[in-house]
Amino acid sequence: MNLIEIKNLKKFFEISKGSFVHAVDGISIDIRQNEILGLVGESGSGKSTLGKVIAGLHGRSSGEVKYQGELLPEVYKASDFLRLSKEIQMIFQDPYSSLNPRMTVEEIIGEGLKIQGVPSAEVRKKVKEWLEKVGLQSEHMSRFPHEFSGGQRQRIGIARAMIVEPSFIVCDEPISALDVSVQAQVVNLLKELKDSFGLTLLFIAHDLSMVRYISDRIAVMYLGKIVECGDADEVFFNPQHPYSKLLIDSNPIADPQKEKLREFKSIEGEIPSPVNIPEGCRFAGRCPSASEECGKVTPQLKSIADGHEVACHLFK
């Protein structure tokens, strides 16, 4: 069953009169109940924007987002936020700036519950519970964010999102700002939480191996569009889209011996400006196997194997 259904979703930002950033440009994808969908792509490809639109932090320009079959409002009103924040939550990339420096940990974590009208004694209890669940201590309640390490802060961020017990969480690069040694801890925490609470996650990341490790499926994004989507292992070990291939090839390998030997391939060329979207396939300009057709016709996502979709003219 699909928890989230996205149809032809577009999100444009007007940066000056008549010129728009096509951050999300016609995305259709479903997120199944209780799965972790990994979302990868270069910086600026629109991953965060997609996540924020789903969480309601951005209104959308066009298209549909359905949650449990219910069409979500195009732009959230205060009441929508209040209602939907219990269902859909978001964990942010930067654990430093995303916590209010003037608030105690208790206030930060408890605020989401408090505005739902939960009595403060109850809130306090829950905050304590959740601090322990994310691996912190209840004494930490009265401290301020600046007294914690990055990993601890991200745990606070997780507790903050989890306390309302949502069924869907957008994790926007929750580990990219963290030390490698703590990344695994946080990922494992998310995995545990997912299992014990039956969560569904959209896991946005740069680090492909981490994404493969945690995700059930992976979607690859390029310039506001999804170019490939499929089972995590399938996409990781058998990427079909030329962009996915390059992206996965450029991923550093955990084994330093092998990493040293590897011939380093970077993706040549610059990602085009999201303001002036080129005609045809957006990757054509950087694609090693681009043909004439690629410069004219925009390829659509097509199923090439069971559950494996690619948007590329190489697959007819």
Partner 1 sequence: MSKYVFKRLLSGFFTVFFIATVTFFGMHAIPGDPLSSDKVMSEASKEALNKKYGFDKPLYEQYFIFLKNTAQGDFGMSFTKKGQDVNDIIKQGFSESAKLGVLAILFAAFGGILWGALTAKYRNKWPDYLIMIFVILGISVPSFVFASFAQLFIVFLNQELNLVFPYRGDGSFVSLLVPALVLGLGTMAFLTRLMRSSLLEVINSDFVRTAKAKGLNSWQIFKSHELRNSILPVITILGPAIASITTGSFVIETIFTIPGLGKQFVEGVQQNDYTLIMGTTVFYGSFLVLMVLVVDIVYGFVDPRIKVGESK
Ligand X SMILES: Nc1ncnc2c1ncn2[C@@H]1O[C@H](COP(=O)(O)OP(=O)(O)OP(=O)(O)O)[C@@H](O)[C@H]1O
**Chain residues in the site for partner 1 (CB under 8 A):** 55, 57, 78, 81-86, 89-90, 92, 94, 97-104, 111-112, 115-116, 144, 146, 157, 160-161, 164
- Binding ligand X (rule: CB under 6 A), the pick from 4, 25, 29, 47 is 47
| Nearest-approach distance from CB 12 to ligand X, in angstroms | 9
- Binding ligand X (rule: CB under 6 A), the pick from 16, 17, 43, 256 is 43
CA distance 94 to 56: 19
- Binding ligand X (rule: CB under 6 A), the pick from 2, 5, 7, 13 is 13
The reply to whether 48 sits near Mg ion by the rule CB under 5 A is yes
First-residue to last-residue Cα distance in the chain: 29
Whose Cβ is closer to Mg ion: residue 189's or residue 204's?
204
Whose Cβ is closer to ligand X: residue 112's or residue 274's?
274
Sign of CA dihedral 89, 29, 307, 310: negative
CA distance 249 to 137: 41
The reply to whether 21 sits near ligand X by the rule CB under 6 A is yes
| Nearest-approach distance from CB 119 to ligand X, in angstroms | 37
What is the chain's Cα-based Rg?
20
Whose Cβ is closer to ligand X: residue 64's or residue 94's?
94
Q: Which 247-286 positions form the footprint of ligand X (CB under 6 A)?
A: 274
CB count in 10 Å sphere of residue 316: 6
| Nearest-approach distance from CB 45 to ligand X, in angstroms | 4
DSSP 285: G
Helix (H) or strand (E) holding 213: helix 208-214
The reply to whether 89 sits near ligand X by the rule CB under 6 A is no
The reply to whether 61 sits near ligand X by the rule CB under 6 A is no
Q: Is 5 exposed, middle or buried (0-12, 13-18, 19+ CB in 10 A)?
A: middle
| Nearest-approach distance from CB 76 to ligand X, in angstroms | 16
CA distance 113 to 96: 22
Question: Do the Cβ atoms of 200 and 4 come closer than 8 Å?
Answer: yes
In the complex, the residues that contact ligand X under the rule CB under 6 A are 13, 15, 21, 23, 41, 43-49, 274
